[in-house]
Amino acid sequence: MKAYHFVGKTLRDGRPVPPDNVTLEHKGPVVCCESGLHASVHPFDALRYAPGSTLCLVDVDGVEDEQDDKVAARRRTILARIDAAPLLQQFAREQALSVLHLWNAPSIVREYLETGDENKRAEAEAAAKAVAAAWAAKAAAKAAATMWAAAVAATWAARATWAAAEAAKAAAWAAKAAEAEAEAATWAVAATWASKAEAKAAAVEQQRARLLQLVEEAFASIE
């Protein structure tokens, strides 16, 4: 079956990443998260386990265990690979733009998200921090704060996707803005915001579909 698998400079066990069309075979038990050769049917799921930004289209054979977001197989062959960093940067910016209307974003933030111009990133980050500070100072304005936090949480959702893949190291202005306490507070609000299960499921499906589209286009371009 065809699937997706992110790799870093080496495989997780330290072995070199094999060339295309070279089949790896696992000896011993095959158990998800424990042993065997892993992959995900959907690139959105593969992103959760990404140690680097190289995305491989793989063929897996001898699947002996599977979960909702991954399979474990006896054999895995890389059919093609791409540097997914630019693709993931675009995806992250698109997700941030999709909720920009929910908060009073400075124009420079919109400019950066629309263009991906790295010359604008530092200024956009600073502007976003300023809005965050102003929001924090007016914590009593619960309704406005909730709206803003929802937007930032969605933006940081794209940032989390980026971080998991170590792929968009220069992409999301929110990446460097995150501090542990602020991030925890934001995600707490995000959990409340996401409580409407149907809306959340629809949003996730849209994200999954868009990422799959970008990935399929990227692989098609190298055929």
In this predicted structure, what is the pLDDT of residue 192? 55
Per-residue pLDDT of the chain (223 residues; tens, 9 = 90+): 999 999 999 998 899 999 999 999 999 999 999 999 999 999 999 999 999 999 999 999 999 999 999 999 999 999 999 999 999 999 999 998 998 888 888 999 999 999 999 999 899 989 988 888 887 777 544 544 445 444 444 444 444 444 444 444 434 444 343 344 444 455 455 455 445 677 788 888 999 999 999 999 999 998 7
| pTM exceeding 0.75 | no
Judge contact between 171 and 97, C-beta under 8 A: no
Length of the chain: 223
In this predicted structure, what is the pLDDT of residue 59? 98
CA torsion through residues 166, 172, 174, 177, sign = positive
Model pLDDT for residues 146-173, shown as the tens digit of each residue: 454 444 444 444 444 444 444 444 344 4
Judge contact between 74 and 26, C-beta under 8 A: yes
Furthest-apart CA atoms within the chain: distance in Å: 60
In this predicted structure, what is the pLDDT of residue 112? 92
CA 120/CA 216 separation, integer angstroms: 29
CA 46/CA 40 separation, integer angstroms: 5
Please report the DSSP string for 97-165 in residue order. HTTGGGTT--HHHHHHHHH--GGGHHHHHHHHHHHHHHHHHTTT-HHHHHHHHHHHHHHHHHHHHHHHH
